[in-house]
Each structure stands twice: as structure tokens, then as C-alpha cells.
């Protein structure tokens, strides 16, 4: 007998929530969108049109949705970081299971509040650590589970945030100030990477953390001589600037459209003239990157010690030419190293008995057809995550990548305490 599709309400109809909801278009027999809650009428109408929703299934807030009583199995919560607790708690108490964007909280106290609510209400909560579903990382985790490199003794991860991503989201954009978004850059951008470290050491708790970093490039004292305040208004060197708003958002109008043109959402097809006027006016993305009010770090290093003696490090660097994520695992019987955007990783083993220093076996996921969209869709993970969520809610066996809220605690805890360690310049013990 065919199973009925899992039903879901979209809460916070932004870029990420709609990416997961799109699984309902790809597999309507698995997932069906039956409602939407968003304070912006235009976005509610867009979701209504996409999924054929009746007027009485559109709501302005999560509280309004919770008050009408549960009419779906789940909620896909894609609200901003600092809204996760205030929107998720009433929905869990109303009886909904939850797919929740990361980071699922912006402080340790919020984190425990949501964990306790999920336990008390006996609801399933899955966190969108979507890189666990990228074939690159899933294949590496499978090799670790198979014992390919023995006990993991050291984990090294790196995230290079491209200059255009850094400028758009963390200098000019809505994650540029902690008092606005309530998340540090480490938690907003590298929550994925900290989770990957915890995943590779699954079952072993972190013991202590330290961290260093700061803001050394995207600040007023680094501004080139002659720089203006707005790229298209008063900057005589705009034409030669790598961070020109014209080059980033007019010459590449679709790359960051979901973030840059929010004030033009009411226009079906905004023209170039509309966009230029926006950048000249109040659009924050028209500002000089050295003259913004950003206060989050542009580089940070995190060091972690685990209960079994394993150590780990994560390096975040913003403003790089090429965006990339890299990982290097060193175990008692070998090592694994690779870059996600290359769709390959190598496995090395000691080979002195055969007369060589080591053997090296490269796995190319692009040849096998397992790697999809390394530069979009989180390395092929978005759709896989949504599919696994459906299985999780149904009670079917989830994949090795499934991240329950309990699985996500250690990564979040390390992130919160790493920021504390950086600010206080000390090692923080994890209770």
C-alpha cells in the first residue's frame, strides 16, 4: 500500500526554507506543503501560488499558526537565527515535528530551552546540517565508520568564504552585526563545519575549546585611498575595486539575488535601472565594504580537545578568491584528505613493508556521478536532507547523515564556547 505524503507548513518563507520545501515538487508522493506562515504578504502569496494553498492556510506568525491547532505533520522552519526559539517552541507545543535551520539557537541557554521543549513534547526535531548529506562528506563518514583509518586522532577543517560571499552576507548583509542577527560569524557560517567535526568523532564528547580571531580587513582603516561611502554614488575608484557593488550585483544579477534585492520583491521583473537606483539609495549592499557597521570576525581559528585525547581545529577565513571547504582526518591506521569543491578525497596508508612511504587511493565522486552541484545546493545535500527528514518523521530508518537535535548539541556548544574563549582569551572547559 502506498504511503501518504508527509505534510508540512513553511514558516519563514525565505531562501533556505523554500529550498527544502522544493522536495515537494520533486517528490509529491513523499512531501506535500499545506500551509505557510510569514510576516511578509508577498512571500505568503508566492508559497500559496507554488503549492496551491487555500487562503485560510496562510498566517502571519508562528504563534498564529500554532493557535489554530495542528493540521500538518511537520513544520519547515527557515526563520532568522534569533527567531528560531520564539517560533519553534509554540509549534512543538502544538504538536508539530520540526525541520529547523541551523544554527538552531543563538546562545547556550536558548539551545537547552529548545532541547528540553522537544523532549517534554516528545517531538522529532531535525537540524539542517545539510553538509552531512553532501556526497563528499557522507562518503568520508562512511569510510570512518568502516574503520578505514582506525581511531580518529586529529581533525582539521577549513572554510574559505569567498570575497563576494563575505561582502554580501557578513559585511554589508544581515549577518554583519551580532546585535542584529544574534549569531556570531562562526555560528552563522561555520556551524556546518563544527558539526562535521563532531560527526567524525560521533560518540566522543568535546572536553575543552580555545579560539583566536577578529576583524582585520573589512574595517575603515583598510579603505583604499580615495574610497567613497557608496559604490555608485561617490566612489571615484569603484571601477577598479574588487568589491564594487556594480560588479557584484549588477554584472552578476542572479548570484546573490535572494539577499541583495529584498526591497525589490514587490517587482515581478526589476530592471537594471531599478537595481542601480536601489544600490544608490538605501540598499545596504550599495555601501563601501570598508565603511559598513559590521562587527563580526573576518577570520577565526578554533581548537578543540576531545575526551579520548583527539584534537581538532577549524580555520575560518573570509575574503578569499575561491570558496572552498577542506577536511583532513588523521587516524591510527591512515588518513583522509580532500576539498569538497574538487569532488575528490584521498585515502592514505603507511606502506613501508612494501618499500614505499605510503599508498594513496583517490576517490573521485564526480566520475561516479555521486556529486551534484558542489557550488550550489550544498554539494548535493539539500534534496537528500529533505528526503531523509520525511523518513525520520515516518519512523523509517534514517541515513547515517540524520541530525536530530540531540546530535547537534555538541557542535553548537563548541561554537558558543569558542566565541566565549576568543572574547575572553582563555581555554574554556566543557562541563
Q: Which tens digits make up the pLDDT trace of 80-93?
A: 999 999 999 999 99
pLDDT at 366: 81
Range with the lowest mean pLDDT among 160-164, 395-399, 424-428? Answer: 395-399
Question: What mean pLDDT comes out for the span 346-363?
Answer: 88
Give the Cβ contact number of residue 369 at 10 Å: 8
Mean pLDDT across 168-186: 94
Q: What is the mean pLDDT of residues 402-413?
A: 94
High-pLDDT (> 90) share of the chain, % = 88
Query: Which residue's C-alpha cell is 532568522?
Result: 80
Query: Using CA atoms, how far apart are residues 179 and 87, in angstroms rounded to an integer?
Result: 19
The confidence band for 118, taking pLDDT boundaries of 50, 70 and 90, is very high
C-alpha cell at 104: 538552531
* pLDDT(376) > 50: no
Q: How far apart are CA 100 and CA 115, in angstroms?
A: 12
For 217-263, how does the pLDDT look when each residue is reduced to its tens digit (9 = 90+)?
999 999 999 999 999 999 999 999 999 999 999 999 888 998 999 88
- Looking from the CA of 430 toward its CB, the CA atoms found within 13 Å total 23
- The cell numbers describing 127, all together, are 537540524
* pLDDT (average), residues 194-207: 95
Task: Output the CATH code of domain 6-101.
Answer: 3.40.50.720
For the chain, the distance separating the N- and C-terminal CA atoms, rounded to the nearest angstrom, is 49
Question: According to the model, what pLDDT value does residue 207 have?
Answer: 97
Phi and psi, residue 46, nearest 5°: -65, -45
What's the rounded Cα separation, in Å, for the pair 265 and 268?
Answer: 7
**What is the mean predicted confidence (pLDDT) over 20-39?**
97
For the cut 90, the answer to whether the pLDDT of residue 35 exceeds it is yes
Q: Which alpha helices (H) appear in 27-68, and where do they start and end?
A: 41-51, 62-67
Which sequence spans correspond to the domains of the chain? 6-101, 131-218+295-374+402-429, 221-286
What's the chain's length in residues? 431
Q: Are 365 and 344 in contact (CB under 8 A)?
A: yes
Q: Which strands sit side by side in the sheet containing 6-11, from one edge to the other?
A: 58-59, 31-37, 6-11, 74-77, 97-100, 125-127
Residue 380: its pLDDT value, please?
Answer: 56
Would residue 319 be called left, alpha or beta, if left means φ above 0 and alpha means ψ between -120 and 50 degrees? left
Phi, psi for 54 (deg, rounded to 5): -75, 160
Per-residue pLDDT, averaged over 365-394, amounts to: 71
Could you tell me which residue, 369 or 202, shows the higher pLDDT? 202
Query: What is the CATH code for 131-218+295-374+402-429?
Result: 3.30.360.10
Q: Does the pLDDT at position 60 exceed 80?
A: yes
Cis? peptide before 350, omega within 30° of 0: no
For residue 22, the 8-state DSSP code is T
pLDDT computed for residue 372 by the predictor: 40
Is beta strand 97-100 parallel, antiparallel or unpaired with respect to 428-429?
A: unpaired
Instruction: Tell me how far CA of residue 85 lies from CA of 25, 126, 320, 419, in angstroms.
Output: 28, 14, 33, 20
Q: pTM (2 decimals)?
A: 0.92
**What pLDDT is recorded for position 368?**
54
Partner residues linked to 350 by β-bridges: 358
pLDDT at 266: 81
* Average pLDDT of the chain to the nearest whole number: 93
pLDDT of residue 248: 96
Amino acid at each position: 500500500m502506498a504511503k501518504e505524503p508527509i505534510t508540512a507548513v513553511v514558516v519563514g518563507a525565505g531562501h533556505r526554507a523554500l529550498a527544502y520545501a522544493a522536495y515537494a515538487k520533486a517528490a509529491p508522493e513523499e512531501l506535500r506543503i499545506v500551509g505557510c506562515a510569514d510576516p511578509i504578504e508577498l512571500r505568503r502569496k508566492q508559497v500559496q501560488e507554488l503549492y496551491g494553498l487555500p487562503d485560510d492556510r496562510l498566517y502571519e506568525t508562528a504563534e498564529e499558526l500554532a493557535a489554530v491547532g495542528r493540521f500538518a505533520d511537520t513544520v519547515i522552519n527557515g526563520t532568522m537565527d534569533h527567531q528560531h526559539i520564539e517560533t519553534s517552541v509554540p509549534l512543538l507545543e502544538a504538536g508539530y515535528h520540526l525541520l529547523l535551520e541551523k544554527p538552531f539557537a543563538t546562545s547556550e541557554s536558548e539551545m537547552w530551552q529548545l532541547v528540553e521543549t522537544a523532549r517534554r513534547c516528545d517531538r522529532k526535531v531535525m537540524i539542517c546540517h545539510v553538509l552531512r548529506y553532501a556526497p563528499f562528506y557522507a562518503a568520508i563518514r562512511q569510510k570512518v565508520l568502516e574503520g578505514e583509518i582506525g581511531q580518529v586522532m586529529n581533525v582539521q577543517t577549513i572554510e574559505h568564504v569567498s570575497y563576494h560571499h563575505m561582502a554580501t552576507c557578513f559585511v554589508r548583509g544581515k549577518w554583519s552585526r551580532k546585535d542584529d542577527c544574534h549569531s556570531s560569524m562562526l555560528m552563522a557560517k561555520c556551524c556546518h563545519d563544527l558539526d562535521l567535526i563532531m560527526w567524525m568523532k560521533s560518540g566522543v564528547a568535546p572536553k575543552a575549546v580555545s579560539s583566536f580571531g577578529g576583524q582585520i580587513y573589512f574595517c575603515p582603516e583598510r579603505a583604499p585611498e580615495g574610497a567613497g561611502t557608496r559604490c555608485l554614488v561617490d566612489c571615484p575608484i569603484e571601477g577598479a575595486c574588487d568589491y564594487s557593488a556594480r560588479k557584484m550585483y549588477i554584472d552578476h544579477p542572479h548570484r546573490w539575488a535572494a539577499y541583495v534585492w529584498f526591497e525589490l520583491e514587490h517587482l515581478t521583473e526589476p530592471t537594471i535601472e531599478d537595481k542601480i537606483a536601489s544600490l544608490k539609495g538605501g540598499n545596504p549592499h550599495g555601501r563601501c565594504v570598508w565603511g559598513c557597521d559590521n562587527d563580526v570576525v573576518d577570520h577565526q581559528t578554533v581548537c578543540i580537545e576531545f575526551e579520548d585525547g583527539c584534537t581538532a581545529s577549524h580555520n575560518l577565513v573570509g575574503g578569499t578568491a575561491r570558496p572552498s571547504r577542506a577536511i583532513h582526518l588523521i587516524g591510527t591506521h591512515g588518513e583522509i584528505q580532500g576539498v569538497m569543491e574538487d569532488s575528490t578525497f584521498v585515502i592514505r596508508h603507511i606502506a613501508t613493508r612494501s618499500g614505499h612511504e605510503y599508498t594513496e587511493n583517490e576517490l573521485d565522486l564526480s566520475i561516479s556521478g555521486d556529486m551534484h552541484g558542489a557550488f550550489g545546493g550544498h554539494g548535493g545535500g539539500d534534496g537528500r536532507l529533505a528526503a531523509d527528514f520525511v523518513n525520520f518523521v515516518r519512523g523509517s530508518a534514517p541515513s547515517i547523515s540524520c541530525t536530530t537535535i540531540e546530535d547537534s548539541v555538541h557542535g553548537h556548544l563548541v561554537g558558543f564556547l569558542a566565541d566565549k574563549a576568543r572574547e575572553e582569551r582563555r581555554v574554556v572547559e566543557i562541563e
